[in-house]
Structure 1
């Protein structure tokens, strides 16, 4: 059976009665002011009748571009990064770009098993939750940093995590909590340093405020152990502030193992508002971070950068979502009954 040939731009030109260069201008979206609207309609109509589709690979080769963006994340197991990819891919697709994902663990000095050994394979990089110094291998490639802190060297799109942590501290203080335990992520990333610093300052400003801290991996078992240590003190916290919703799940397990009720005996808060937050019982008070919007805004900034514009850095606010895991501390309840 003979191969079925696909229509070419030359076929479209003959069908529309124009030159191939005119077809290129129209189908490339560069005809305005150079080709009449009627001719543009004629070319598009001819292309549709013939079923013509541009050869994207050949176009990219001519332009010296792959139309591919690399999204670097610390891990693919954390539920937070799925929506980041979804938002980035949604915006990229509207502009004819694809997004590939690679991980970059916290202790790595280069991309972990990345298929991109040089900046020739990609047009730009979105790097989430990492330091800009880690991107030395991609020097010269346009980069936008996500949730990585302000940086004068590259455009950034981040979250207002410090404000989010201050909102949690204010919520707990309003309920009457003064002894607060911080089950902190033992990860050297800007986002967790900012959360810890904000919580430290907020509790220090509370009359009688006391903050204890125990760092752990972002893992349920490790978080359970850290929360247990905090709750084993002679004057234990009445509330546990967790850097991540998964860490909060470990805090729930610690409370249950010690015979404590959440929230009657112990209030617990998380951060991020992933699906787990409403799967826990009681549902978790946490800070909602718009992860999908982070990816979308980051990709928009990167496309601006690729177009020769310098996008302004931006900060996306978090939102405190108060649910059933926080309540007035038990000692305040007893005092009110006296």
Structure 2
């Protein structure tokens, strides 16, 4: 079975078949014709010779997805979305957790430039990827990262600031005015955006008090930090705003260990909407981040860059999930002096 057979079945030229099956048809062939060609190829069981085409184009049809860790469900979902779009376009995705977390990532190949067509990086800084990119020779798409990074050919971001604003407004509407921000100790763009949005939202609210307690992204560390925040002399915070659901799980443990209740004595919010958010009791009020959509958009952006097309730059919307971990403050409690 050859491309000539597909062309004859679809009633088009071989050049049109090559354009469509090579994903180069947009702007040259109508969508109806593209659908006809794809249908004919499926009916005939035709598979293009990718090895020959890749050699001709100088492409490996492989992308590298770099993430800070594999232990966070968010990054697994990003990979799922990226791999789905990649497969639809005849690409493969190699998942690579940076050994240094958000720090400099080493080249996992003898030569990344020879093995890859491009790099997608989630929640990292562009300068941490110089080694992987072979000194900047590979196209880079950044996810959940600083859009000001000039090294990136495209950036796909969630509307992180809006997510934190919605959390803050929700708690304010319930009557909370005394907050502790259980903040990630990781110095990255996404967490700086959360802190800034929270501070800005509270700055215009009379009598609002905000204390920040940094913590590693670990349940036990978050529990210790939350216990310290709740036991500090003076007015106890009525709401703990956490940078992610893992920190929120630790905060809930701290509340219980101090003989308090969520949300009757202390409201707790998370961020990410991991499976963990529905596993704790009460279930977490949190911000849902559509990670699979981020991965899909990231892979689509890399394909656009490789084809010389503009990548979509609109921020991915987020959603506040209001559950049982938040309620109006019963009283302005005080810890022991």
TM-score, normalised with respect to structure 2: 0.84
In the alignment, what sits opposite 1:190?
Answer: 189
Give the Cα separation in 2 of the matches to 1:15 and 1:287: 48
Structure 1 residue 178: deviation in Å?
A: 0.8
Q: Given that residues 6 and 17 in structure 2 are in contact (C-alpha distance below 8 angstroms), is that contact kept between their aligned partners in structure 1?
A: no
In the alignment, what sits opposite 1:175?
Answer: 174
Give the Cα separation in 1 of the matches to 2:41 and 2:104: 53
Q: Is structure 2 residue 304 aligned with structure 1 residue 313?
A: no
Give the Cα separation in 2 of the matches to 1:53 and 1:291: 31
Q: Is structure 2 residue 331 aligned with structure 1 residue 331?
A: yes
SS, match of residue 249 in structure 1: helix
Give the Cα separation in 2 of the matches to 1:205 and 1:99: 45
Q: Given that residues 251 and 268 in structure 2 are in contact (C-alpha distance below 8 angstroms), is that contact kept between their aligned partners in structure 1?
A: yes
Q: Is structure 2 residue 73 aligned with structure 1 residue 76?
A: no
Give the Cα separation in 1 of the matches to 2:199 and 2:4: 68
Give the Cα separation in 2 of the matches to 1:327 and 1:15: 63
Structure 1 residue 27: deviation in Å?
A: 5.7
SS, match of residue 214 in structure 1: strand
Any idea what the Cα deviations from partners look like across 1:42-98, whole Å, max 9, x if unmatched?
Answer: xx68993xx664332232122211101111111111011111111111111111111
Match of 1:106 among 92, 101, 118: 101
Give the Cα separation in 2 of the matches to 1:308 and 1:145: 17
SS, match of residue 73 in structure 2: coil
* Larger-gyration structure (1/2): 1
Q: Given that residues 106 and 187 in structure 1 are in contact (C-alpha distance below 8 angstroms), is that contact kept between their aligned partners in structure 2?
A: no
Structure 1 residue 115: deviation in Å?
A: 3.2
Structure 1 residue 13: deviation in Å?
A: 6.3
Any idea what the Cα deviations from partners look like across 1:196-219, whole Å, max 9, x if unmatched?
Answer: 111122222221111111111111
Any idea what the Cα deviations from partners look like across 1:152-205, whole Å, max 9, x if unmatched?
Answer: 623111011111111111111111111101111110110001101111222222
In the alignment, what sits opposite 2:61?
Answer: 67
Give the Cα separation in 1 of the matches to 2:209 and 2:72: 31
Q: How does 1:276-287 map to 2 (within 5 A)?
A: 276-287=276-287
Structure 1 residue 29: deviation in Å?
A: 3.4
Give the Cα separation in 2 of the matches to 1:169 and 1:128: 25
In the alignment, what sits opposite 1:207?
Answer: 206
Q: Given that residues 158 and 294 in structure 1 are in contact (C-alpha distance below 8 angstroms), is that contact kept between their aligned partners in structure 2?
A: yes
Q: Given that residues 220 and 249 in structure 1 are in contact (C-alpha distance below 8 angstroms), is that contact kept between their aligned partners in structure 2?
A: yes
Give the Cα separation in 1 of the matches to 2:62 and 2:21: 22
Give the Cα separation in 2 of the matches to 1:240 and 1:323: 15
In the alignment, what sits opposite 1:3?
Answer: none
Structure 2: gaps spanning 5 or more residues = none
Q: How does 1:202-241 map to 2 (within 5 A)?
A: 202-234=201-233, 235-241=235-241
Q: Is structure 2 residue 252 aligned with structure 1 residue 247?
A: no
Q: Is structure 2 residue 17 aligned with structure 1 residue 26?
A: yes
Give the Cα separation in 2 of the matches to 1:198 and 1:14: 58
TM-score, normalised with respect to structure 1: 0.84
In the alignment, what sits opposite 2:161?
Answer: 162
Going from structure 1 to structure 2, the CA distance change for 1:261 and 1:55 (only over 3 Å counts) comes to: same
Give the Cα separation in 2 of the matches to 1:298 and 1:15: 32
Give the Cα separation in 2 of the matches to 1:320 and 1:130: 24
Q: Given that residues 284 and 325 in structure 2 are in contact (C-alpha distance below 8 angstroms), is that contact kept between their aligned partners in structure 1?
A: yes
In the alignment, what sits opposite 1:129?
Answer: 123
Structure 1: gaps spanning 5 or more residues = 1-6, 334-338
Structure 1 runs of 4+ with >4 Å offset: 12-17, 22-25, 30-34, 44-47
In the alignment, what sits opposite 2:89?
Answer: 95
Q: Given that residues 116 and 122 in structure 1 are in contact (C-alpha distance below 8 angstroms), is that contact kept between their aligned partners in structure 2?
A: no
Match of 1:149 among 146, 149, 154: 146
Q: Given that residues 7 and 17 in structure 2 are in contact (C-alpha distance below 8 angstroms), is that contact kept between their aligned partners in structure 1?
A: no
Structure 1 residue 116: deviation in Å?
A: 6.1
Equivalences, count: 312
Going from structure 1 to structure 2, the CA distance change for 1:16 and 1:272 (only over 3 Å counts) comes to: closer
User: What is the root-mean-square deviation in Å for CA atoms of aligned residues?
Assistant: 2.9
Give the Cα separation in 2 of the matches to 1:114 and 1:15: 40
